[in-house]
Amino acid sequence: MTQYVVYDVFTDVPFGGNQLAVFLDAKDIPEDKLQSIAAEFNFSEVAFVYPPRNPAHTARVRIFTPNNEIDFAGHPTIGTLIALSDLGCKSPMVLELGIGPLRGEVTGAEASFIARQNLNILSYPNLALVAEALSLPQSEVKTETHVPTLASMGLPFILVELNSRASLSACAPNVAAMRKGTALHPESHDFAVFVYFRDGNKIESRMFAPLDDIPEDPATGSASATLAALLTERLNAPQSLSFTQGVDMGRPSFIQAATTQNPLTVTIKGQAVRTMSGDFII
């Protein structure tokens, strides 16, 4: 049997934030079972922990959504750091991810990591198509700081700013439009849309990826990091941002993001709460 633990990530209370299952010693799980396990949990992501390839590092981590493996995601990184800390690993840690080694720290109940990978601007999806994908009028999309932008720091998202909190609440993913978007932008990871309303350094956000079996994500650290990096470039200044996500689906999440310029880095910080544990028996 192989033990797993479940954490609610980017929250300090159970049943908030984003659920994550972590298999703390996955080396004996057959390769052909990994995707099936992730689909069985049906969380946004499941993390599988292995011995590191480099003995100077803490662990190698593979991350799966319900239907594919990905190189990087924020809440699995934060949750895995805290799970390893609870297991006795000392901070700081280095996790080997698909994007390469990533340094993280755990201080008390809070974990953080520094994303140093490049911000890649992949394309600028059509405004009308993006509005259709969100079931919103085009007039609700704000374009002064940036137009809808497909960007990635290891996982691609369409970043979309809205004019009001009411517009954010009104969003409803249009699957047909998202299929059209995926066909036009095959690099878009199933046209996942990270939509937000910004008031100074406070950001309220939602993320929709129904074509990846994630109708809505309660906390998306990788998208928050990508947006923080984009705003750093567009506003030409380091950013210190507080993200609130998951409110509209009843799982409030809180993410802190801070950036530097020259070089561009993003530090993502948040908490996690252990809620369950069990054994994989197949």
The structure's pTM equals: 0.93
Q: How confident is the model at residue 109 (pLDDT cuts 50, 70, 90)?
A: confident
Span 195-241, pLDDT tens digits:
999 999 999 999 999 999 899 999 999 999 999 999 999 999 999 99
| pLDDT given at position 279 | 92
| pLDDT given at position 108 | 86
| pLDDT given at position 130 | 98
| pLDDT given at position 189 | 81
Partner residues linked to 279 by β-bridges = 3
Q: Is the pLDDT of residue 282 over 80?
A: no
Assigned superfamily of 120-268? Diaminopimelate Epimerase; Chain A, domain 1 (3.10.310.10)
For the record, the structure tokens of 42 come out as 């049906």
Q: Does domain 2-114+270-280 have CATH number 3.40.50.180?
A: no
CA angle (259, 212, 228) in 5-degree steps = 10
For the record, the structure tokens of 274 come out as 């252990």
Rounded to the nearest integer, the mean pLDDT of the chain is 96
Choose among 74, 18, 99, 61: nearest CA to 257: 74
- Gap between the Cα atoms of 162 and 164, Å rounded: 6
Give me the amino acid identity at 26. A
| pLDDT given at position 253 | 98
Q: Is the pLDDT of residue 1 over 90?
A: no
Span 60-98, pLDDT tens digits:
999 999 999 999 999 999 999 999 999 999 999 999 999
- What value does the mean pLDDT take over residues 121-149? 98
Domain with CATH 3.10.310.10 in the chain: 2-114+270-280, 120-268
> Which residue has 């079972």 as its token pair?
33
> Which residue has 């590092």 as its token pair?
57
- What value does the mean pLDDT take over residues 23-32? 95
Q: How confident is the model at residue 125 (pLDDT cuts 50, 70, 90)?
A: very high
Of 93-102, 216-225, 248-257, 273-282, the poorest mean pLDDT is in: 273-282
Catalytic residue IDs? 45
